[in-house]
Amino acid sequence: MTHPPDTGPAPVLALKGVSKSFGAVRALRDVSLELLPGEVHALAGENGAGKSTLIKTLAGVHRPDAGQVLLDGEPVVFHGPRDARDAGIAVIHQEPTLFPDLSIAENIFMGRRPRRALGRIDHKATRAATAALIRRLGVDLDPDRPARGLSIADQQIVEIAKALSFDARVLIMDEPTAALTGSEVARLFGVVRTLRDRGAAVLFVSHRLEEIFEIGRRVTTLRDGARIAGEPLAGMTEDDLVRRMVGRDLDELYPKQDVEPGEVVLSVRRLTREGVFTDVSFEVRRGEIVGLAGLVGAGRTEVARAVFGVDRWDAGEVEVAGRRLRGGAPSVAMAAGLALVPEDRRAQGLVMNLSIERNIGLTGLRTTARAGLMNRGAERSRSLDWAVRLQVKYARIADAVATLSGGNQQKVVLAKWLATGPQVLIVDEPTRGIDVGTKAEVHRLLGALAADGVAVLMISSDLPEILGMADRVLVMHEGRISAEIPRSAATEETVMAAATGRAAA
């Protein structure tokens, strides 16, 4: 080994000088990393820094172009995911990798089922072992239940049970918390700590810095495919880590501009959709950013969808700039000056295979068309204009949006809606799964829009974001608005109390 031996235990799994390219893109450049038993190692870096490639190299999905993977200090070559698994490496990928049609038990033991005579599967033993595993994790899931319809949190529990089932020595988790609620994250961390204390080496990737500090002991930072630093987390601050990730000082993550609110442009009165949300009333003024907080499932997204006309409502009314909207008609809402940037940009915000140009152009098909025919020239100049204004990073405007990083995809969705010149902009989780640098840019953009007189309604589960950007915070709890808190009084405690229904009525 070239490194001087640490005082602690020897690394279970390590990368030494690993490089990997995809065509002209150099995803990893001479990266080294050591995972020690009984330690949680965090991996930080912006989107596109090479984290997923690194993980896939450890998981046997990719083979390095140069450099070595070391298992217990010996160089190994993984010919596929099966080899890595046989070496005791369990990977929880960003996208769930369960088989929806198969039972939980079969998912856990896929490829390694207990056998009976003649190589037949021992269904009974599989089921019993699954039940034992699930019990160890402290949850109650039926081993025979198909994986279809499981919540993301439960899917991750199944993935962890899979890792437990073969006594994984190395557990690699790629953004496991991105779609989890607070209590689910706590449960997950509990399980991770137990595994760590049993001597497993854990590699943990997250965009949430506070989580890295909560569970990690050391951190390796990647930027543009290269390793910037590998160091203990003790003594570091979030700012230190961010600086390593983005390679520059972040001016400010929440560049809130003070704007004097103007007249009311969006007015929602006693809006009710049976069984979903009840008696929701609020107003948003010109130049104001109103945060809409609450737990996942409180009905925030549903309210936004109803206001924009995607879903119908049963009672109440919505007014934009004094004009009453009829429900269930997004085209009417758009004409009145509403824009909605949806929660799930891949499924609802973008047509992934279409070009950047076409995606931005989608909202302007009527305005740029001539005699009912598309006007390619007008569409292109409109799209280019917005892509440049939002500093979307792309090679050619004709490239499919699927080729962009998550943050840049989000900018394309924003561009698509800003191009309509909205009076009211509703953004639903505008920075979920986006790296810190782009996040700051999105915040600056929202601030600038408000300063220009746009009314912004921002739904977010990211409390610091709500507290940092909103002039007023509306909190929803079980389908109702449970509190309205001015910026001066909004703290994590007051918002969370209202979100969990603990606030005094």
Partner 1 sequence: MTVTTTDDTPVVPRSGGTRLVDRVLRMRELAILAVLLVMIAVAQAGNSAFLSEQGVKDLLLNATILVLVATGQSLVVLTRNVDLSVGSTLGISAFAAGTWLRDGGDPVVAVLLAVLLGIGFGLLNGLLVSLGQVPALVVTLGTLYIIRGVDSLWVGSRQITATDLPGGFVDFGSGGVLTIPWLALIALAVLVATGYYLKHYGSGRELYALGSDPEAARLAGIPVRRRILAAYTFCGALAGLAGAMYLARFGNVDSGTGNGYELTVVSAVVVGGIAFTGGSGSVYGAALGALLLTSVNSVLPALGVSSVWVLAINGVLLLLAIAVDRIVALRVAAALKKKPAPRRTAMAKEKAGA
- Work out whether 99 is an interface residue with partner 1 (CB under 8 A): yes
Instruction: Identify which of 52, 53, 56, 54 has the alpha carbon closest to the alpha carbon of residue 34.
Output: 54
- Nearer to partner 1 among residue 151 and residue 381 (C-beta): 151
- Nearer to partner 1 among residue 147 and residue 245 (C-beta): 147
Would the CA dihedral through 463, 464, 466, 467 be positive or negative?
positive
- Cα–Cα distance between 19 and 54 in angstroms, integer? 9
Instruction: Identify which of 244, 192, 183, 199 has the alpha carbon closest to the alpha carbon of residue 215.
Output: 192
- Work out whether 346 is an interface residue with partner 1 (CB under 8 A): no
Task: State the residue for tokens 């230190």.
Answer: 240
Q: Tell me how far, at minimum, the Cβ of 144 lies from partner 1, in Å.
A: 5
- Work out whether 81 is an interface residue with partner 1 (CB under 8 A): yes
- Cα–Cα distance between 425 and 444 in angstroms, integer? 15
- Nearer to partner 1 among residue 167 and residue 258 (C-beta): 167
- Work out whether 289 is an interface residue with partner 1 (CB under 8 A): no
- Nearer to partner 1 among residue 109 and residue 282 (C-beta): 109
- Nearer to partner 1 among residue 129 and residue 456 (C-beta): 129
Task: State the residue for tokens 């002209």.
Answer: 24
- Work out whether 131 is an interface residue with partner 1 (CB under 8 A): yes
List binders of partner 1 among 45-64 (CB under 8 A). 59, 61
- Work out whether 100 is an interface residue with partner 1 (CB under 8 A): yes
Residues 139-178 vs partner 1: string with x where CB under 8 A? Answer: xxxxxxxx-xxxx--x---------xxxx-----------
- Work out whether 109 is an interface residue with partner 1 (CB under 8 A): yes
- Cα–Cα distance between 449 and 472 in angstroms, integer? 16
- Work out whether 129 is an interface residue with partner 1 (CB under 8 A): yes
- Work out whether 93 is an interface residue with partner 1 (CB under 8 A): yes
Residues 369-398 vs partner 1: string with x where CB under 8 A? Answer: ------------------------------
- Nearer to partner 1 among residue 111 and residue 372 (C-beta): 111
- Nearer to partner 1 among residue 13 and residue 387 (C-beta): 13
Would the CA dihedral through 42, 45, 46, 49 be positive or negative?
negative
Q: CB of 375 within 8 A of CB of 369?
A: yes
In sequence order, what are the residues at sequence separation of 6 or more whose Cβ sits closer than 8 angstroms to the Cβ of residue 194? none
Pick from 1, 25, 136, 252 the residue near partner 1 by CB under 8 A: 136
Whole-Å CA distances, 88 to 81, 82, 108, 216, 227: 11, 10, 15, 21, 25
- Work out whether 80 is an interface residue with partner 1 (CB under 8 A): yes
Strands 264-273 and 424-428: unpaired
- Work out whether 262 is an interface residue with partner 1 (CB under 8 A): no
- Work out whether 38 is an interface residue with partner 1 (CB under 8 A): no
Pick from 26, 63, 113, 480 the residue near partner 1 by CB under 8 A: 113
Instruction: Identify which of 274, 273, 291 has the alpha carbon closest to the alpha carbon of residue 282.
Output: 291
- Work out whether 127 is an interface residue with partner 1 (CB under 8 A): yes
496 φ, ψ (degrees, to nearest 5): -65, -35
Stretch that binds partner 1, among 138-146, 324-332, 392-400, 457-465 (CB under 8 A): 138-146
- Work out whether 111 is an interface residue with partner 1 (CB under 8 A): yes
Pick from 3, 135, 324, 393 the residue near partner 1 by CB under 8 A: 135
Q: Tell me how far, at minimum, the Cβ of 76 lies from partner 1, in Å.
A: 15
- Work out whether 402 is an interface residue with partner 1 (CB under 8 A): no
Three-point CA angle 317, 319, 322, nearest 5°? 135
HSE of 402, CA atoms in CB hemisphere, 13 A = 6
Pick from 30, 122, 224, 314 the residue near partner 1 by CB under 8 A: 122
- Work out whether 98 is an interface residue with partner 1 (CB under 8 A): yes
In sequence order, what are the residues at sequence separation of 6 or more whose Cβ sits closer than 8 angstroms to the Cβ of residue 313? 271, 272, 273, 306, 327
- Work out whether 103 is an interface residue with partner 1 (CB under 8 A): yes
Q: Tell me how far, at minimum, the Cβ of 57 lies from partner 1, in Å.
A: 14
List Cβ<8 Å contacts ≥24 apart for 185-194.
Answer: 185/211, 187/138, 187/153, 188/153, 188/156, 188/160, 189/214, 189/215, 190/138, 191/137, 191/157, 191/160, 192/40
Three-point CA angle 494, 499, 505, nearest 5°? 75
Pick from 138, 328, 421, 486 the residue near partner 1 by CB under 8 A: 138
Instruction: Identify which of 53, 133, 38, 149 has the alpha carbon closest to the alpha carbon of residue 93.
Output: 53
Whole-Å CA distances, 173 to 55, 86, 95, 135: 9, 18, 11, 21
- Work out whether 365 is an interface residue with partner 1 (CB under 8 A): no
- Work out whether 106 is an interface residue with partner 1 (CB under 8 A): yes
- Nearer to partner 1 among residue 97 and residue 403 (C-beta): 97
- Work out whether 316 is an interface residue with partner 1 (CB under 8 A): no
Pick from 23, 120, 370, 372 the residue near partner 1 by CB under 8 A: 120
- Summarize as ranges the residues that interact with partner 1 (CB under 8 A): 59, 61, 80-83, 85, 91, 93, 95-103, 106, 109-115, 119-125, 127-129, 131-133, 135-146, 148-151, 154, 164-167
